[in-house]
Amino acid sequence: MPDSTDEAVVDLPEDGADTDKEDTPESEPEHSEEVTGGDPDEPTEEEDVTAGPLANLSEDEKNRLMEQYIHYGEVAIETANQRVQMNRFFGLILTSILAGLFALARGNLTSTNAAIVLFASGFGSLICYFWYQSLQSYRRLNKARYAILNEIESVLPVRIYLDEWRYLKREKPDPEIVDPRPAEDADHRSHTIVEQWFVRLLAVGYASVGGYAGGFIFTSLAQGFIPSLPAPSVVGFGTGGIFLAGLAIVYWKQSR
């Protein structure tokens, strides 16, 4: 099931928290004992469905709820597939363009070529930003959807999405339908975190080559007024560093 483990346990983080630093489905569950286990003979408040919004459903209502659950789960899977297709499209296009820009910048760079590199890198950085925002939108959408699915699963014999995450984090499902994941297996990393870091690395590449081209253009224009300017490559690397610092601030603010 694509990407279901990335959003299986949901809750909104505290204001200002950097969720990228934690490997969770999207955030920690509302009740910590829901993941860490506990005495199965003493169900948590969430497991006590007699007090929840789905309590005292008739048989017909339960059947209709199951139909909605199946359909909603299919919608969540389709959303994950759309995100994968979007990542493939943007990743292929932006990686190819970035490789071409680096090849152009490493050659005999002229003012015309530098202007092309600067414009294309600025456009690529902008696309990276919108791609990053799209990932955040998909992430919030899946958090909402899996919050609803988890609530519906509270009246089912097995909480599949939650147990899937428990298995990946080497926790015991409740009821214990599978053995815990072996300790020697590699740690699970949320796909959302991998996506975000891939976009950031691409943006760093665009900012670097764009800053280098911008420094080359600036040196060519300013040499008549400032004869003591360093070589274009030195100015280019310095400008690229400034661009990278600005880019880091932008993504840091978006992650808060």
- What's the gap between Cα 119 and its chain centre? 27
| Average pLDDT of span 101-119 | 83
pLDDT tens for residues 193-236? 888 889 988 988 888 888 778 777 777 766 666 666 555 555 55
> In 3D, which of 29, 28, 32 has the Cα closest to residue 19?
28
Q: What letter would DSSP give residue 172?
A: P
**How many CB atoms are located within 10 Å of the residue 91 CB?**
15
Quote the pTM value. Answer: 0.64
Distance CA 119, CA 27 (A): 38
pLDDT at 251: 59
Distance CA 42, CA 238 (A): 62
Question: What are the residue ranges spanned by the domains of the chain?
Answer: 4-255
Residue 91's pLDDT band (cuts 50, 70, 90): very high
Does residue 45 carry a pLDDT above 90?
A: no
> In 3D, which of 11, 15, 75, 22 has the Cα closest to residue 190?
22
Instruction: Write out the H or E segment, with its range, that includes residue 253.
Output: helix 232-255
pLDDT at 172: 63
